[in-house]
Amino acid sequence: MRCGRCSFECPVFLHTANLWGGPAYGGPMGMGWTAITLGEDLAGEISYLCLGCGRCDEVCPVEIPLSSIISKLKARAASRVE
């Protein structure tokens, strides 16, 4: 669907614009898309900017658990760091 409503609610996106989330789509929605298209390594690195506030989940019209996806990307990135 990629409506972008999550981006307008995200406090990180409000300050970074399309610089956070990925090159194709910014914001919370872009994090999952970046992981799929460009790999979890890149997505994991930029996922640390997410505050984990969950505002993206609250406004998603199709109830995609974006904060959960980003949290899992963070956990996978952390497990790769030694």
- pLDDT for 23-82, tens place per residue? 888 899 999 999 999 999 999 999 999 999 999 999 999 999 999 999 999 999 999 876
How many domains does the chain divide into? 1
Q: Are 49 and 27 in contact (CB under 8 A)?
A: no
With a CB cutoff of 8 Å and minimum separation 6, the contacts of 1 are 61, 62
What is the domain range of residue 76?
5-80
- Averaged pLDDT for residues 13-19: 87
pTM of the model: 0.88
